[in-house]
Amino acid sequence: MNYPHPLIAREGWPFLALAVAVALVVTWFGGWWSIPFWLAALFVLQFFRDPPRVVPAEAGAVLSPADGRIVVVGKARDPYLDRDALKISVFMNVFNVHSNRSPVDGEVRKAWYHPGSFLNAALDKASLENERNALHIVTAEGRDVTCVQVAGLIARRILCYVKAGDRLTRGQRYGFIRFGSRVDVYLPPDARPLAQVGDVVYATATVLAEFPTR
């Protein structure tokens, strides 16, 4: 799926149109009383921004699937493929870009959707208790990557536009999460992490880890 990056995510067009329309009406009738409504419209505008990104060319690079802050880097059990893995989690607050991009080139082998709670996405238990959508992606080299969109305290809508059998390229836009949330990536244990807890990362532009060359 080719997404042309129109700067404002298509998911936000209805929200932005409504916010601007309300602000205009209040301006017409209330003058200066409309300032909070224009601020709300600016918030909607910044939330749904979707800038284009340059895709790093390094072989074996695993790219960040989301903008945000790293909250987990370490060994874990991948609950979807039942395997040992390196887990890297990116927490997105309401001021981050919420467009999600593929971390690797590969084929989507399976997708899972799980309804759940809406805990603070910065908490590690949100990975297993919150509403989430997971993709199993297999690279051309046969490496398994699990990428999981997780809803947050405010988020109430996970959008994923790919299914089993689709092919993704690194940096390709595949989904969106409305408002604060996180994305978990489970990698083979031999992947070398390049990100650390606390790092600020950017979807596509930041390399989270790398696979050893064969």
Q: Which residues are catalytic?
A: 181
Residues 87 and 115: beta-carbon distance below 8 Å: no
Q: What is the C-alpha to C-alpha distance for residues 98 and 175, in angstroms, rounded to an integer?
A: 9
User: What is d(CA 14, CA 158) in angstroms, rounded to the nearest whole number?
Assistant: 17
Question: How far is CA 12 from each of CA 2, 35, 129, 178, rounded to the nearest angstrom?
Answer: 18, 21, 27, 9
| Four-residue CA torsion sign, 131, 204, 91, 43 | negative
Give the H or E element holding residue 184: strand 181-187
b/e per residue 39-50 (b: at least 16 CB within 10 A): eebeebbebbeb
d(CA 91, CA 134): 16
Under a CB-based contact definition with an 8 Å cutoff, are residues 35 and 56 in contact?
Answer: no
Q: Tokens representing 154?
A: 């405010």
